[in-house]
């Protein structure tokens, strides 16, 4: 029996919960996919918070769960499809509820990381073959933590142009230079591959010259030079800025942007 001042978990239909229309927290499609992957792996582990029928916390989880159910999937700890565990906080005043919605999201953001312990945990999980994407860290963040000597974002202020931009703007570029080639090798060591899906025409329509080169050389495109890509971002896009790639034909631009702290 529930005691005074003791929280009780109650399963309720997700469709009965009214989303807070002034919820300032946003959830991108990519993050919803992350939450869906988490629900598949771990199940529903954190009750949604409500005040009567009003949803205070759990908007992203509810959206992800709704999509999973629509696709015919099940969620551990939700034995009845369409129902989620909730905790009612109706004892809070209207103003307290509004403040708590903000605090529930912001307070977690204010925490930090012990980078050494974090990297150790991630390394242990990687060694046992666990899917690290389920931790919520993206590929760029994981590379920075697990391979800190690999290419990544530049430092703060007080640097020279070479420190900030790697190659100062308005310089003459030489892709054959040893430093350039070393930098390119470091990028390729992250696993960047040729632009899959952008091969040359089929063998039957290739020229005689192409055919003479052998099958291994006829249908591959070269990797977009990640060093050139890095320079373009460092020169023309501020840290945290957004990169628009109208071609979106390969992985290089996205990988480099993530590693350099661009969106």
Domain with residue 60: its CATH number is 3.90.1530
Same-domain pairing of 24 and 121:
no
Question: Does residue 47 sit within a domain?
Answer: yes
Total structural domains in the chain? Answer: 3
Range of the domain at 140: 112-149
Question: Does residue 4 sit within a domain?
Answer: no
- The pLDDT of 62-84, averaged and rounded, is 97
Same-domain pairing of 169 and 253:
yes
Question: Does residue 3 sit within a domain?
Answer: no
Contact 79, 3 (CB under 8 A): no
**Rounded CA gap, 161 and 115, in Å?**
28
Closest CA to 12 of 60, 64, 68, 54: 54
Question: Does residue 1 sit within a domain?
Answer: no
Same-domain pairing of 232 and 204:
yes
Which pLDDT tens digit goes with each residue over 206-237?
566 555 555 444 445 566 788 888 888 887 88
Which pLDDT tens digit goes with each residue over 105-136?
999 888 888 888 998 999 999 999 999 989 99
What is the β-pairing status of strands 83-88 and 9-13? antiparallel
Which residue, 109, 138, 170, sits at the end of a domain? 109
Closest CA to 167 of 243, 252, 231: 231
Same-domain pairing of 86 and 27:
yes
Please give the structure tokens belonging to residue 213. Answer: 């080169």
Same-domain pairing of 163 and 177:
yes
Same-domain pairing of 247 and 159:
yes
Same-domain pairing of 144 and 160:
no
pLDDT grade for 203, boundaries at 50, 70 and 90: very low
Q: What does residue 209 show for φ and ψ, rounded to 5 degrees?
A: -65, -45
pLDDT grade for 180, boundaries at 50, 70 and 90: confident
Question: Does residue 52 sit within a domain?
Answer: yes
3-state SS, one letter per residue, for the chain: CCCCCCCCEEEEEHHHCECCCCCCCCCCHHHHHHHHHHHHHHCCCCCEEEECCEEEECHHHHHHHHHHHHCCCCCCCCCCCCEEEEEECCCCCHHHHHHHHHHHHHHHHCCCCCHHHHHHHHHHHHHCCCCHHHHCCCHHHHHHHHCCCCCCCCCCCCCCHHHHHCCCCCCCCCCCCHHHHHHHHHHHCCCCCCCCCCCCCCHHHCCHHHHHCCHHHHCCCCCCCHHHHHHHHHHHCCCCCCCCCCCCCCCHHHHHHHHCCCC
Question: Does residue 220 sit within a domain?
Answer: yes
Which pLDDT tens digit goes with each residue over 81-91?
999 999 999 99
Same-domain pairing of 119 and 137:
yes
- The pLDDT of 131-146, averaged and rounded, is 85
User: Average pLDDT, whole number, for the chain?
Assistant: 81
- The pLDDT of 173-201, averaged and rounded, is 71
Same-domain pairing of 72 and 165:
no
Question: Does residue 183 sit within a domain?
Answer: yes
Which residues does residue 86 pair with via DSSP β-bridges, in sequence order?
Answer: 10, 48
Same-domain pairing of 189 and 226:
yes
Q: Other C-beta atoms within 10 Å of 256: how many?
A: 26
pLDDT grade for 155, boundaries at 50, 70 and 90: very low
Which residues does residue 18 pair with via DSSP β-bridges, in sequence order?
Answer: 54
């Amino acid at each position: 029996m529930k005691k005074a001042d003791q929280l009780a978990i109650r399963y309720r239909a997700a469709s009965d919960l009214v989303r807070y229309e002034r919820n300032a927290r946003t959830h991108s499609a990519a993050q919803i996919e992350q939450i869906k992957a988490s629900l598949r792996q771990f199940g529903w582990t954190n009750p949604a918070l409500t005040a009567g029928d009003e949803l205070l916390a759990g908007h992203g989880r509810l959206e992800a769960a709704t999509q999973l159910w629509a696709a015919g999937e099940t969620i551990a700890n939700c034995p009845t499809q369409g129902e989620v565990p909730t905790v009612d906080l109706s004892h809070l005043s209207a103003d307290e509820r509004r403040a708590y919605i903000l605090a529930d999201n912001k307070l977690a953001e204010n925490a930090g990381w012990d980078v050494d312990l974090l990297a150790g945990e991630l390394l242990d999980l990687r060694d046992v073959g666990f899917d690290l994407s389920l931790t919520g860290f993206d590929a760029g963040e994981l590379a920075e933590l697990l391979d800190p000597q690999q290419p990544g974002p530049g430092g703060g202020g007080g640097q020279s142009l070479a420190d900030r931009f790697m190659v100062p703007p308005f310089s003459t570029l030489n892709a054959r230079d040893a430093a350039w080639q070393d930098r390119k090798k470091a990028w390729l060591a992250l696993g960047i591959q040729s632009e899959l899906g952008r091969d040359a025409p089929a063998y039957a329509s290739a020229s005689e010259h192409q055919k003479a080169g052998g099958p291994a050389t006829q249908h591959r495109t070269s990797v977009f030079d990640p060093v050139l890509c890095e320079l373009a971002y460092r020169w023309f896009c501020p840290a945290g800025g957004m990169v628009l790639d109208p071609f979106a034909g390969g992985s290089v631009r996205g990988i480099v942007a993530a590693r350099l702290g661009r969106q």
